[in-house]
A and B are shown apart, each in its own frame.
Chain A
Amino acid sequence: MNRTKFANLSIRSKYFRIISAMFVVVVLTAAGLLLYINSEQHKLSRERELLQNKAQTINELAVTLNDVFFRARGYTALKNENELELAYEALAKLGTVLGDYSRLKLSPEEAQFRSDLQSFSIQYGNETLPQAVAFVQKDDYEGVRALSKAGNTEKVNNFLAYTKDYKVRADQLLSDMVRQAIRQSNMFTFAAFTLSALLLVLFTLIIWRILRTLVNPIIKLEAAAHSLAAGEAVLLGELHTQDEIGRLYGAFLNMARSIQDKEEELTMQNEELHAQQDELHDQQFRLERSLSEIESMMVALNQSSAVAILSPKGIFTYVNENLAQYTGYKAEEIVGHPYRLFELRNLASVQMEEMRRKLGTGMVWSEELLMDAKDGTPLWLHTTVMPYLNDEGAIYQYILIASNITSVKKVQQELAATLTRTEETKIMLERSNQLNHDITYTLDKQEFAGRFIDFMNGQFAFDSSLFLLAEGGIVAAKGIPPEIVERYLHEEGNMLYRMQTEKSYITERPATSLEQGISPVQLTAYDYYTSVVNAEDEILAIFCGTRVGASFSAEETNEIQGLMNRVALAIDRLYMVEEIEHARKLNLDIINNVAEGIQFIELDGTMGQMNKALSQMFQYAGWKEGNRLPLAVWLEHLLGQVKESGELRNFYTQAISAAFPDSGSMKYSLDRDSLKHMDVYAIPVFRREERFGTLFVHRDITREYELDQMKSELVSTVSHELRTPLSSVLGFTELLLNRTMKPEKQQKYLQTIHREAQRLTDLINDFLDLQRMESGTQQYSPEKLNLSELVLGVIEQYKLGSTHHILYEDEAEYSGVEADRNKLIQVLTNLLSNAIKFSPGRGEIKVKLRNEPGVITVEIQDNGLGIPPDQIGQLFQKFRRVDNSAAKRIGGTGLGLAICKEIIEKQNGTIGMESAEGEGTTVWFRLPVLQPEPAGQEEELLKWSSEKEEKPSVMIVEDDYSLSLLLSEELKGKGFRVMHHYHPQQAFEQALKTPFVAIIVDLMLGEELDGWDLIRMFKHDERTADVPIVISSALDQAGQALLENVRTYLTKPYPPGELSATLQEILNTSLSSGEVLFPKDPAGQPGIDRTHNFP
């Protein structure tokens, strides 16, 4: 920020700042220096003054002291009182001087000296002197001497010596000071010199820098200006300063650039000018050339055509020789005359106007003109007139160019006359030709008749006509209302009658008002009747035509009769063609409707024909009848889809070759999504003992092939299935026969043999069953059955002795089916035993019945081994078993499900399964259900789907299956969902899982637990304590000791309606507190007592 600001400053202000700063610094430094010197000198002079002062004082001290002693000695010696007085005076003075001295700044030594002196002077003044005075007074000079000896004199001498010494030292110090002052002043001088030298250097630097900043760019600018002047590129980098030079640079650069741009522009303009100049030259040259061309053309024109120039007003100003020659005038006779000299005979005034308009707008006008020559002969000129325009766009002359076309016109007119004459003949001929063509090539009879009528009307000017083909009743009519045609046709007997005796005849009659039209004269109509007869004198067709106003000439009659003979031939041919076409179409239809693919290959290998089946087999989508495909094309297309392409190619090559003996066939397969097996046989085709091609017939044998394959697989599987138990039977028998062994082992072997033999028997039975079913020899005896009953019956058989608990859940409202009872039992037994077999150990098997629209579904659900998903689909096939070790150990013939499938499908049902490996399998089948009320079916369906969830569930715990069935039927009819249990423990567990509105319990259940135990279990578990229980028992309620605990009791036998009424009541009153209900007893006493709660 600061830097940019600094850089942005102008040079002037920059240097102004630098110099001002320096000036301030120099002035401050000099002032400081001066002050310093001044203070130093001042200090020095003070010190010297102090020293001088001190020395003076000490000197004064010494003088005064000396004076004191001098006076004292003087007194002592002279005993002069004045002297003593002087001595005191001197002593006082000493005191004053000492006072002065002590005011000075003293070193410790001096201070010591001062205090010594002071104490001495005091002591001297106070003691010594008065003593000496006393001694002197007493003249005791001994005393005086003793006193002086006491040291006073010595002390004084010491003082004096000190002062003297001090003086010397002070002098010494003074001279030192002077020397130091001199040295200091020297130093200051040097400093001043250095400062000025520094200043000088600084200024030099600044000036140098100024020079550099100013001069360098100026030099560069100068060079750039030179190069600019010389027209070279200005290689001047941008100066990144914003000062004056920078701006100058910028300005210069802008100037240089704009000069250069201008220069470039100028150069470009210059080049453009040059180009334009070149082009101008070029154009000039071309102009000259075309001018010369025009000139030569003019010459040619002048020689070949008539040329004239007319003024804008139409006056001839120039006429060439040719025009004069054509018109017969002399050139001079024409020039100066207006164009009207020649009267234009073939131009109407409109055309004249058109000419004037065209020429007036500057357009060229061209026309063939007929005029009279001078001698009056007609003259045809092909004339072209061009107006010439001046710069203002005004016409200044017309050029007329004309060529003489008189002779051409003459020839043309002659030709036109001839043409008109020949035209009529030509039309007649054309019609005749057309008819010939039509009767030869028209294959459609209706079309033929129509064309014939057209021809007759055109050729012989019939006003109305009718043509009737005897066979097929094909009619063509022109100019006759349809109702009249109808009448003619239905009264043809009359017409034909006369036709049989008379081949043709003409009748004459007055024209009807319709025929008369607008003609004022009464016209006559002539009707011409003729028959078309073949060689056998059979009438093939009849022609009738009416001509109004003109009879038929003998020539016309002859012509018509001749024509009829030709038509007879044509009709014969038409019938023949039709027959052939019909036969051909029939053949084609036959060929195309054959399932085999047929192709006809000519001797050179071209495929002349193939049928629809073949084109579908080999996907020849674009093939059309009549297409001929060369060998390479069709064979490669065909082989591309075939697996055994090599063999098939060989087969084709041999079969097509002339040496092919008789016939041959081969099998191949088509490579499709699913492999297709094909069989092809080839037969040579002969016509009049001469071979002219080969017929190939392809047959899809996939089904036969697969059947074959299945058959051999079946044989192999059956042999395997039979051999395994046979191995055991034979093997163990042999061991028994050949070895001696313990009886236990013998027993075991015999058991094994027995079991395996049993398995063998089952297998054979199942197999035969299935075989019978598949071959259709199995007899079914359908009857109306109740499927619920049937299922319950089968479950009943498994109930005893089974390790598995079978739970029966019946939701089906309609369970009537029409099926073979025994076969259905076989299916159910099979499925149930499978479910038991494949859920080893104990397990629950659920059998569910429910209705779905139109069907009843039976589901058998186990929690067993389950089936791997990839094998589910195969299991309904023969000898398919779940392919794993666990299932293997369980065994089975592998035919059960196949038999079930066969049976169910024969009863119009479907069968299927869902399974999860390790979790269990559900096998289901559906049969069409018999509907008791077909009218309500739709409503019922709705009911099923919507109420399925809401149906109240009821459980029946009952081991008597017929009673169970009875109750269930009743309850289902009343809209309950019924679950059956016969085992108390299972029933209890079920009750924990499912919310029931009520449970019906039979008291006599099994050996382990009876109904009472079950009721106790329910009531003691809080989860089921609230469920209402209905007891159904054969025992009279009075005979039960536990009766006090039971409030709902139905004594068997009771009508089922009673039970459902009870349950209905439970539902209606929504009992939920576990109150137990009694149904109405037969005596009609109130059966419901809600006061008693079960304990």
Chain B
Amino acid sequence: MKGENEVQKILVVDDEDILRMLIEDTLEELEDVQIHTAEHGKEALEKLAADRFDLVILDYMMPEMTGVEVLGQLDEALKAATPIMMLTAKAQDTDRIRAQEAGARYFMPKPFSPMELLQIVEDILREQN
């Protein structure tokens, strides 16, 4: 268990610069939280292998490697330990199911409300603490 003052880390994976910026800016209000970003699946996997994150926000549709494919390459223990939120513009039920099967615990359809995202992320982080 982590101490109250310890810094928590979030990894934001999205191929759209603007959306990464939006999420970063949204979450910047959180205290003691470090935000890391990755531009594509490969970078995300590298960062996940190197560091432990308290939350991963993962875009579904990305070139070369989709969010589900990223999850497919993560090992089960890491997935069980790390809360994963799938962000997707494909708000269909099949995508939600696919994301869940791949190991994503949370699901956020695009377009999303930054305030809502902030609220959920806060809750998840508190839970993690």
Binding site for B on A (CB under 8 A): 716, 719-721, 723-724, 726-732, 734-735, 738-739, 752, 756, 883-885, 887-889
* Cβ of B16 under 8 Å from chain A: yes
Q: B92's closest neighbor in chain A, by CB? A: A716
Is B39 on the interface with A (CB-CB < 8 A)?
yes
A957 to B83 Cα, complex, angstroms: 64
Nearest residue (CB) in B for A756 is: B18
Instruction: Write the nearest CB–CB distance from A871 to chain B, whole angstroms.
Output: 11
CA distance A889 to B17 in the complex (A): 8
Whether A734 and B89, one on each chain, are in contact in the complex, defined by CB atoms closer than 8 angstroms, is no
Query: What would 4 more interface pairs be, CB under 8 Å, given A720-B90, A727-B22, A738-B115?
Result: A727-B19, A728-B19, A731-B19, A883-B64
What are 19 pairs between A and B in contact, CB < 8 Å?
Answer: A716-B90, A716-B92, A719-B91, A723-B91, A724-B16, A724-B89, A730-B111, A730-B112, A731-B26, A731-B111, A731-B113, A731-B114, A734-B114, A738-B115, A739-B29, A752-B21, A756-B18, A883-B63, A888-B16
Q: Which A residue sits closest to B117, measured CB to CB?
A: A731
Question: B110 an interface residue at 8 Å Cβ cutoff?
Answer: yes
Across the interface, A724 reaches (CB within 8 A) one of B29, B40, B64, B110, namely B110
Of B25, B110, B115, the residue contacting A723 (CB under 8 A) is: B110
* A728→B18 contact, CB < 8 A: yes
B112 contacts A727, CB within 8 Å? Answer: yes
Does B54 touch A at the CB level, under 8 Å? Answer: no
Q: Are B19 and A884 in contact (CB under 8 A)?
A: no
- Name the residue among B16, B89, B91 with the largest chain A CB count within 10 angstroms: B89
Q: State the majority secondary structure of interface residues on B.
A: loop
Q: How does the 8 Å CB contact mask read for B11-43 relative to A, with 1 for contact and 0 for none? A: 000011111011001100100000000011000
Q: Check A752/B26 contact, CB under 8 A, given A719-B90, A719-B91, A885-B64.
A: no
Identify the closest chain B residue to A712 (Cβ): B92
What is the number of residues of chain B that contact chain A, defined by CB distance less than 8 Å? 26
Interface centre among A724, A739, A883 (most CB of B within 10 A): A724
Q: Which residues on the B side are within 8 Å of A731 (C-beta)?
A: 19, 22, 26, 111-114
Residues of chain A with a CB closer than 8 A to B64's CB: 883-885
- With A723-B110, A723-B111, A885-B39: A728-B90 Cβ-Cβ less than 8 Å: no
Measured CB to CB, the closest approach of chain B to A694, in angstroms, equals: 37
The chain B residue with its CB closest to the CB of A722 is B89
Q: How far is the CB of A147 from chain B (nearest CB, A)?
A: 147
Query: What is the bound-complex CA distance between A719 and B112, given in angstroms?
Result: 14
Q: Is B61 an interface residue (CB 8 A)?
A: yes
CB distance from A17 to the nearest CB of B (A): 100
Taking the nearest CB of chain A, how far is it from the CB of B93, in angstroms?
12
For B25, the closest partner residue in chain A by CB is A735
Identity of the chain A residue whose Cβ is nearest the Cβ of B118 in the assembled complex: A738
A719 to B64, CA, bound (A): 20
The chain B residue with its CB closest to the CB of A741 is B25
Give residues of chain B (73-129) contacting chain A, Cβ–Cβ below 8 Å: 89-92, 109-115
Per the bound structure, the CA–CA distance linking A734 and B90 in Å amounts to 21
Give bound CA distance, A716 to B110, whole Å.
Answer: 13
Q: For the complex formed, measure the closest distance between the CB of B73 and the CB atoms of chain A, giving whole angstroms.
A: 18
Are the CB atoms of A752 and B18 closer together than 8 Å? Answer: yes
Give the complex CA separation of A707 and B98 in angstroms: 24
Closest to A734 in B: B114
Instruction: With both chains docked as a complex, state the minimum distance between the C-beta of A838 and any C-beta of chain B, in angstroms.
Output: 15
Shortest distance between the CB of A764 and any CB in chain B (Å): 15
Q: Whose C-beta in chain B lies nearest to the C-beta of A727? A: B111
Q: Across the A-B interface, give the 3 residue pairs with the lowest CB-CB distance, nearest first.
A: A723-B89, A727-B111, A720-B89
Q: Are B22 and A728 in contact (CB under 8 A)?
A: yes
Check if B26 sits within 8 Å of A735, measured CB to CB.
yes
Beta-carbon contact of A724 and B19 below 8 Å: yes
Inside 8 A of A720's CB, which chain B residues have their CB? 61, 89-90
Q: Is the CB of A888 within 8 A of B112?
A: no
List chain A residues, Cβ under 8 A from B112: 727, 730-731
> A728 vs B25: C-alpha distance in the bound complex, in angstroms?
12
Measured CA separation A885–B15 after assembly (Å): 8
Residues of A within 8 Å of B111, CB to CB, are 723, 726-727, 729-731
Find the A residue at minimum CB distance from B94.
A716
Interface centre among B18, B25, B29, B61 (most CB of A within 10 A): B18
Question: CA A883 – CA B15 in complex, angstroms?
Answer: 11
The residues of A that contact B91 with a CB separation of less than 8 Å are 719, 723
Residues of A within 8 A of B22 (CB): 727-728, 731-732, 735
